[in-house]
């Protein structure tokens, strides 16, 4: 397993290899750490290591505690996040963390009556440079707020107080090119089963676009993602639907004000049920998400939506004893092309785990498990990519190599145009070496693959300057 994880970490994307430390993925854990009040952590996909970067502590005014969501990477290179508890009023806090110097600063304290209480979801940085987010409680009606944080002036302002009529307990928000914010509320609306709303930043007015009925169309919507080709939102509800309140996956057309359910979630379905996190649009123009329960393993699944057909397919079903249970987290696509996601529990270590998924070969890779010291139980977390100071190295130019044909069936050719010594290794998808040679200079190397099983392989070409790792497909 270690070899497989090591191989997957260095895959070549579009002819480039990422040097070790090229980027890290950052997130937060709800509990664990030195004080068991949650952590900020970084994950290095190259070394497959999780590092606790900061320990929250509710018993101090300058920290915060129990973060449910990941911080947001702002344009100034710093991370900004929220905690559900802690701060001066113990209603949550807004913090700043520098991923380079690892310096933490508490920037604002939430106060229930004025700015809201218990922010659960990540903030977004809008086109005006400000951060916007929601709280789950507090405000005039104790149904949550929509707030703005000005980084330059360090000011936290409540823009809207949610109520039952206009939606209650708001979730994730996003901004479209028209400058307006869009989001969902867990409850409220005509049927008190949640809403889709639009918020105009020019006049601070809210407009309810859709009210969920709690039955066919679902209840308790958790998130939206905007798909530009069809000018539609895709989203999920964690409850409602026709299959005993197992949730739905839906599409909402802004222009026609119509909502279409594209999947009724069900127990023992390969998709699972209770989709409670966000959705991610990847470079293949497909949409990816997670369910928290269901499937034959009862631990949820990673699923894919094809907007061309509005079909939903299961990609991987989680099993607690092996890879943890899925959760209300959101998968993300990193610059290496892979999806990275989190599970919230693991039977043996009970802290959750990180996984990686190749969307082109539909291959799942189990990565590191969370320990209590790192932080445990990531909740509404979507990992955030932070680039390091190390630049991307074009090792293809460095080693002047070419692999052909690809896909291949009988013979694989490797052309090396320099005269340095190379170590050539071909590994299968599980990380086992199926071919190697310790010395090969310029010329063409011929590798007989006629007896190899069809599938994905990795060719590692190494010299004193570095190495590249190329994906090779064997077909029959």
pLDDT interval class at 404 (50, 70, 90): confident
Q: Is the pLDDT of residue 8 over 50?
A: no
Q: Is the pLDDT of residue 92 over 80?
A: yes
CATH topology of domain 23-387: Neuraminidase (2.120.10)
| CATH class belonging to 395-474 | mainly beta
- Rounded to whole angstroms, the Cα distance separating 42 from 61 reads 24
What is the overall mean pLDDT for the chain? 86
**Which range, of 217-221, 343-347, 469-473, averages the lowest pLDDT?**
343-347
**Which range, of 103-112, 160-169, 399-408, averages the lowest pLDDT?**
399-408
Tokens for 403, please give them. Answer: 């692999």
What's the gap between Cα 289 and its chain centre? Answer: 9
What's the gap between Cα 379 and its chain centre? Answer: 11
pLDDT tens per residue, range 317-343: 887 666 666 678 999 998 888 999 998
Domain boundaries defined on the chain:
23-387, 395-474
Share of the chain above pLDDT 90, in %: 59
Q: Is the pLDDT of residue 207 over 70?
A: yes
Mean pLDDT of 112-140: 97
Supply the pLDDT for residue 309: 97
What DSSP string runs through 159-224?
EEE-BTTTBEEEEEEEE-TTS-EEEEEEE-TTTTS-EEEEEETTTTEEEEEEE--SSTT-EEEEEE
pLDDT tens per residue, range 61-85: 788 999 999 999 999 999 999 999 9
Supply the pLDDT for residue 211: 97
Supply the pLDDT for residue 13: 31
Stated pTM of the model:
0.79
- Rounded to whole angstroms, the Cα distance separating 285 from 308 reads 9
**In this structure, what is the dihedral angle of CA atoms 54, 58, 63, 64, given to the nearest 10 degrees?**
90
Q: Is the pLDDT of residue 438 over 70?
A: yes
Mean pLDDT of 21-45: 90
Cα–Cα nearest to 114, from 78, 87, 74, 81: 87
Share of the chain above pLDDT 70, in %: 85
**Which range, of 131-145, 197-211, 365-379, averages the lowest pLDDT?**
365-379
How far CA 292 is from CA of 256, 271, 407, in Å, comes to 31, 10, 36
Q: Is the pLDDT of residue 197 over 90?
A: yes
């Amino acid at each position: 397993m270690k070899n497989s994880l090591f191989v997957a970490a260095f895959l070549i994307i579009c002819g480039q290899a990422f040097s070790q430390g090229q980027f890290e993925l950052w997130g937060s854990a709800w509990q664990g750490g030195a004080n068991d009040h949650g952590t900020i952590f970084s994950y290095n996909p190259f070394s497959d290591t999780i590092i606790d970067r900061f320990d929250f502590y509710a018993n101090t005014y300058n920290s915060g505690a129990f973060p449910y969501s990941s911080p947001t990477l702002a344009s100034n290179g710093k991370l900004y996040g929220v905690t559900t508890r802690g701060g001066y009023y113990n209603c949550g806090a807004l913090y700043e963390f520098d991923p380079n110097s690892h310096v933490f600063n508490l920037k604002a304290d939430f106060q229930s009556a004025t700015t809201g209480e218990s922010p659960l979801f990540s903030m977004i940085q809008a086109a005006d440079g400000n951060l916007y987010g929601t709280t789950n409680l507090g405000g005039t009606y104790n149904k949550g707020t929509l707030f703005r944080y000005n980084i330059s002036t360090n000011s936290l302002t409540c823009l809207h107080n949610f109520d039952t009529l206009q939606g209650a307990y708001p979730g994730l928000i996003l901004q479209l090119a028209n400058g307006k914010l869009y989001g969902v509320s867990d409850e409220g609306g005509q049927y008190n089963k949640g809403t889709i709303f639009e918020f105009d930043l020019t006049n601070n007015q809210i407009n309810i676009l859709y009210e969920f009925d709690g039955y066919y169309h679902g209840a308790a919507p958790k998130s939206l993602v905007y798909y530009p080709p069809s000018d539609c939102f895709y989203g999920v509800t964690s409850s409602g639907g026709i299959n005993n309140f197992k949730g739905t996956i839906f599409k909402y057309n802004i222009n026609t004000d119509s909502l279409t359910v594209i999947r009724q979630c069900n127990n023992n379905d390969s998709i699972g049920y209770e989709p409670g996190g966000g959705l991610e649009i990847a470079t293949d123009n497909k949409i990816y998400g997670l369910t928290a329960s269901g499937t034959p393993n009862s631990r949820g699944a990673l699923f894919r939506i094809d907007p061309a057909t509005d079909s939903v397919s299961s990609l991987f079903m989680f099993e607690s004893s092996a890879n943890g249970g899925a959760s209300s987290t959101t998968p993300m696509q990193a610059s290496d092309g892979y999806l990275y996601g989190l599970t919230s529990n693991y039977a043996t270590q009970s802290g959750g785990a990180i996984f990686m998924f190749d969307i082109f070969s539909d291959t799942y890779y189990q990565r590191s498990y969370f320990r209590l010291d790192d932080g445990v139980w990531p909740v509404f977390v979507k990992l955030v990519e932070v680039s390091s100071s190390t630049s991307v190295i074009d090792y293809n130019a460095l080693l002047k190599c070419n692999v052909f044909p690809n896909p291949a069936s009988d013979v694989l050719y490797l052309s090396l145009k320099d005269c340095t010594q190379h170590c050539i290794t071909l590994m299968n998808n599980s990380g086992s070496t199926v071919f190697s040679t310790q010395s090969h200079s310029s010329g063409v190397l011929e590798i007989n693959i006629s007896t190899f099983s069809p599938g994905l392989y990795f060719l590692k070409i190494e010299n004193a300057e570095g190495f590249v790792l190329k994906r090779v497909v064997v077909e029959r």
